[in-house]
Amino acid sequence: MLSRKMFERINWYKKEYIHDYYSRIIIDFKDYEKISRTKMLEEVYKVYDNPENILDICTFKELKYLQMIIENSKPMPELLDSKYDWERDMLHKKFLIQDDFKVVFIPDEIIDQVKKALAIVDWSKVKKADEINEIAVSYCKMLGSTIFYQVCTITSSITGINDEEVFNHLNHNRLFKFYVYVYNKDFQHLNQTLPVALYNDYYTIGNEIETERKKQGIKAVPSLDVEFLKRYFYNDFDIKNPKIAKFIKEIKKLPILWHDALRIVREYAILNIDRTPLKQSFKDVPSLQKHNLTSFFHTLDEAMDEMPSGALNGLTPNQAKNYRMEQEQIKHDKEQNYIKQQNACLSKKDADLFYKIYFALLEFTNKKFQIKKDLKIYQQNHLNPHDLTNIIAKFWENKETLTQEFCQTNPYKFNSEELDITSNFQKGFRGHFIVVKFEEEYTAVMDKDKTYMIKGINDNIDNILSYQNLPVVVTTSIIPFKNFLIYDGIFYEFSISLGSNFTNMINQDFQKSLKYYHL
């Protein structure tokens, strides 16, 4: 039961406000219409009956602030200092503190649990949790919504913390769930259901973010600076960006509820939509009717052009503009430098011979390992490459022993020349490569610091892969065949976008790499 003091104070809050944060704290929360304000707070305080839950939902900064309150029996003016605005705001939203504008206090209902939490806190553990949460939450905040597994991968790569540890932490940590709502979504184009992480403040515009992302779609990935992500966690903006800092300073001068105004600005920024209605909403505020807002709107535009947008996959409008200009330049350069391939594949006779040998090896592999019992490969036409994937992988995993055994048993009665060519398949190898450049008679394929100059099989490779998409990452096999290097006739492309910086780096490495025409 709530004390009389808290029962009275709870009526100061709008029910919508209480339900918003109650639903972030309670796992199986009740719908807005089915629960009262008093009942919501009682359920929150039941969660806090366990001191571990208090530790799990607070950052290092918040716990230190609670400690300051506990350790000072008399009111401290410092507790109301603006430098603690973030801590007070978050602890209010978690219903862990109250204030009457003169004194900050922990409600009687939970003060003993807070003391117990602070008595058992492991500060190093809290700091490690912060390290994960700061990155994961900020990444979700930048994009609005994204695949949960991507959040785990990005967080792991930035922090250096094991993937599995990050995954388990984000799945169970109350602080992460306070900021981010994870739900399952059916992706029809992928034919699977995946968990999506949606930043809670954008819950009501989640569908709009996805709609705008499809409209404005950009494949670039933002560069993720650790210090920026930390600032972004504790602020809703990058306060060290001069244009954003100037805007926040100017909006605080206006005779309006600037906190509410900033919330709307954030939504427009995350959606990256026409700002005319936003500016009109400022003009419609009665207290601003006599203000000349021209200069303020200029400052607003400059600041919003520096704010990450979910519609732009986390890029700012300025970054997206620069990216598109770079892509146009890259496209222009590709068109200027493209050389149409001539004689960059095997002759019809040699192509037929390659498939005769390769399909014989694959059928031999399939029979030996019983991968697809009813599949016929040797001397077959129009085979589906996807039907061969597991068989190809098994052959290249055991290339030496399979090739030697094949040549010794000669199950398809190859002549000596065919057996010599077959034996050379042992020297081939399978892996991930980057198709870098088309030359008139060869295709340049990079693997680390080496470049293999390969031929196509039945067709020039520039008729299979577009020069406009280079460089492109593929999985294939490199094979010595007669006097040439070839691939195995199948490219499995990775649908990832290589940024301009990475593309430039690849092209520089290509210029310096050794070129191999034989193994």
pLDDT in tens, 362-412: 999 999 999 998 899 999 888 888 889 999 999 999 999 999 999 999 999
Q: How far apart are CA 121 and CA 108, in angstroms?
A: 20
Joined together, the tokens standing for residue 168 give: 């388990």
Joined together, the tokens standing for residue 483 give: 């006097």
Contact between 267 and 202 under an 8 Å Cβ cutoff? The reply is yes
Q: How far apart are CA 318 and CA 301, in angstroms?
A: 11
Contact between 300 and 281 under an 8 Å Cβ cutoff? The reply is no
> Which domains does the chain show, CATH number per domain?
4-121 (1.10.10), 126-335 (no CATH), 348-516 (no CATH)
- What is the per-residue pLDDT for 208? 97
Beta-bridge mates of residue 515 = 451
Tell me the DSSP string of 207-276.
HHHHHHHHHH---------HHHHHHHHHSSS-TTSHHHHHHHHHHHHSSS-HHHHHHHHHHHHHHT--SH
- What is the per-residue pLDDT for 206? 94
Contact between 440 and 397 under an 8 Å Cβ cutoff? The reply is no
Contact between 368 and 402 under an 8 Å Cβ cutoff? The reply is yes
- What is the per-residue pLDDT for 494? 77
Q: How far apart are CA 518 and CA 482, in angstroms?
A: 10
Q: How far apart are CA 32 and CA 481, in angstroms?
A: 70
Q: Could you tell me which of 11, 86, 97, 13 has the C-alpha nearest to residue 48?
A: 97
Q: How far apart are CA 25 and CA 440, in angstroms?
A: 63
pLDDT one digit per residue (tens) for the chain, 519 residues: 666 666 667 778 889 999 999 999 999 999 999 999 999 999 999 999 999 999 999 999 999 999 999 988 666 778 888 899 999 999 999 999 988 767 888 998 999 999 999 999 999 999 999 999 999 999 999 999 999 999 999 999 999 999 999 999 999 999 999 999 999 988 876 678 899 999 999 999 999 999 999 999 787 878 888 999 999 999 989 999 999 999 999 999 999 999 999 999 999 999 999 999 999 999 999 999 989 999 999 999 999 999 999 999 999 999 999 989 988 888 898 898 898 999 999 999 999 999 999 999 999 999 999 999 889 999 988 888 888 999 999 999 999 999 999 999 999 999 999 999 999 999 999 999 999 999 999 999 999 889 999 999 999 999 999 999 899 999 999 999 999 999 999 998 876 666 666 777 888 888 888 899 998
Q: How far apart are CA 423 and CA 402, in angstroms?
A: 10
Chain-centroid distance of CA 73 in Å reads: 46
What HEC string does 152-204 produce? HHHHHHHHCCCHHHHHHHHHHCHHHHHHEEEEEEEECCCCEEEEEEEEHHHHH
- What is the per-residue pLDDT for 196? 96
Q: How far apart are CA 93 and CA 57, in angstroms?
A: 11
- What is the per-residue pLDDT for 80? 85
Q: Could you tell me which of 473, 466, 483 has the C-alpha nearest to residue 445?
A: 473
Neighbours of 257 (CB within 10 A): 11
Q: How far apart are CA 100 and CA 135, in angstroms?
A: 34
CA-to-CA dists, residue 232 to 166, 290, 501, angstroms: 20, 34, 25
Q: How far apart are CA 357 and CA 403, in angstroms?
A: 11
- What is the per-residue pLDDT for 186? 87
Could you tell me what percentage of the chain is helix, strand and coil, using 3-state DSSP and rounding each to the nearest 5? 60, 15, 30
Interacting residues of 226 by C-beta distance below 8 A, sequence separation 6+: 135, 158
Alpha carbons within 13 A on the beta-carbon side of 111: 12
- What is the per-residue pLDDT for 480? 97
Sign of CA dihedral 13, 14, 18, 21: negative
Q: How far apart are CA 143 and CA 417, in angstroms?
A: 59
Q: Could you tell me which of 203, 144, 182, 171 has the C-alpha nearest to residue 21?
A: 203
Sign of CA dihedral 432, 437, 442, 446: negative
CA-to-CA dists, residue 438 to 176, 216, 297, 300, 423, angstroms: 48, 31, 50, 47, 29
Q: What is the largest CA-CA distance in the chain?
A: 98
Joined together, the tokens standing for residue 444 give: 């340049």
- Backbone φ and ψ for 180, nearest 5 degrees, come out as -130, 130
Residue 370 burial (C-beta neighbours within 10 Å; 0-12, 13-18, 19+): exposed
Q: How far apart are CA 45 and CA 62, in angstroms?
A: 17
